Structure 1
Amino acid sequence: MADTREKILNSALNLFAKNGYHGTSIRAIADSVGIQKSSIYNHFSGKKAIFSELFKKLAPIDMEEEFYKSKILNENEDPVEILHFFGRLIIDEMKDKNKSKWLKIMLREHSHPEVKKRMKERLENNVRIGERFFKKMKDKGEIKSDLNCFLLANEFIGGIVFFRMRYLLFELDSFEELEAETEEHIDFFWKNIKKET
């Protein structure tokens, strides 16, 4: 039973990547798995439920999750190490073929109401945690005092999203270039916001 469920999800992922959400039918998913269309409903209520399950499994990291939040907002962590930790999380996501495939789907399906809503929430969560991180750095006197923490969070995350789009959507960079550009972005960013001593 669980095996069939996984096959449905894997087939749906591949079909969504190839044909888009609207271009993929329940029948096509069932045919790809080798089961009757009606059998899909033993596992999922419909295509939206399959899409939703894939989002839960493969969507970009959410900094509101306790593991990430506790690491990023940890008072004892070196701020540069935290920025690199975030960058490594992004790189690790790109190593996962299914996550990369899913992110490509998200970028292509950005106007789909469900995708738009969920990606908006994810981005807002990550910017909110980023803003709290930079406020903490400002309060500790580690970054320049005249900086806007909300803008810093957007600038930092925006650069990483840009490199990821170059890699995923436009295929302008190799994985190694994505990795190097992300690290360079982090070093450049920190160099320009840290408080001079």
Structure 2
Amino acid sequence: MISTREKILNESLDLFAAKGYHGTSMREIAKAVGIKGSSIYNHFSGKEDIFSELFNYLAPLNLESEKFQEKFMAADTDPLKVLNYFANIVIEEMQDNNKVKLLKMMLRENNNPVVKKRLQSRMKNNIERITKFFAQLQQQGKIKSNLEPAFTANEFVSALIYYRMRYLLFELDSFEELKEATQKHICFFWENIREK
């Protein structure tokens, strides 16, 4: 049996996806759930609280998590394997309908202060982690010594974001094309940064 809290999250996600974060009211969420408008506040303090919980569960991958830190910062890291691991997670996220709904909404509403703040924070943290990964590879002599780790991290991520936007927002590619482009990017990128 789904709890009222879960129903609120599910209905909010659908409404956010259909009408946007800004265009959805707490009253509409309560109505979709089938509860009184005031009852929703027994579960969440407001729309931002609902969005925060959805973001925590569904937002793009969080490289601050322990599992990613272990994978990225292991001393015996196989760089190509790690880059492929990262790319595969990005691809897998595109098969989760709820993640896709939230990502589409966030990309469309990236100027909304609530959405923007969350996206900026996640992006900043992820770039910092990837920068550390490339700095470590450089110290180990696995990538070219003349590369700037922060620039390398941004270059790596920017193509992945571009392919996701082509798939999510502009619907220019099929899922298979997204997958193929992502894998080609990894191979091309690694060939151009690795120490030969």
Query: Please, what TM-score do these two structures have when normalized by structure 1?
Result: 0.96
The corresponding residue for 2:4 is 4
Question: Aligned runs of 1:123-162 on 2, under 5 Å?
Answer: 123-162=123-162
Distance 1:6 1:123 in 2: 27
- How does 1:53-132 map onto structure 2 within 5 Å? 53-132=53-132
**Whole-angstrom distance in 1 between the partners of 2:146 and 2:48:** 46
Post-superposition shift, 1:117? Answer: 1.4
Q: Measure the CA separation in 1 of the matches of 2:10 and 2:135.
A: 41
Give the superposition deviation at 1:22: 1.7
Tell me the percent identity: 54
CA contact 2:15–2:29 (8 Å) conserved in 1: yes
CA contact (8 A) 2:64 2:125 kept: yes
Partner of 2:28: 28
Deviations 1:83-134 (A, max 9, x none): 0010011011111100011001110110111211111111111111111111
Deviations 1:128-178 (A, max 9, x none): 111111111111111111111110000001110110111111111111111
Question: What corresponds to 1:170 in structure 2?
Answer: 170
Provide the C-alpha distance between the structure 2 equivalents of 1:139 and 1:45, rounded to a whole number of angstroms: 47
Write the deviation string for residues 42-62 of structure 1: whole angstroms up to 9, x where unpaired.
111111211111111111111
Instruction: Give distance in 1, aligned partners of 2:158 and 2:183.
Output: 14
Counterpart position of 2:191: 191
User: How many pairs does the alignment contain?
Assistant: 196
CA contact (8 A) 2:163 2:178 kept: yes
CA shift at 1:192, angstroms?
A: 0.7
Aligned residue identity for 2:34: G
Q: Which residue of 2 aligns with 1:40?
A: 40
In structure 2, the gaps of 5 or more residues are: none
Over 4 Å off, 4+ runs: none
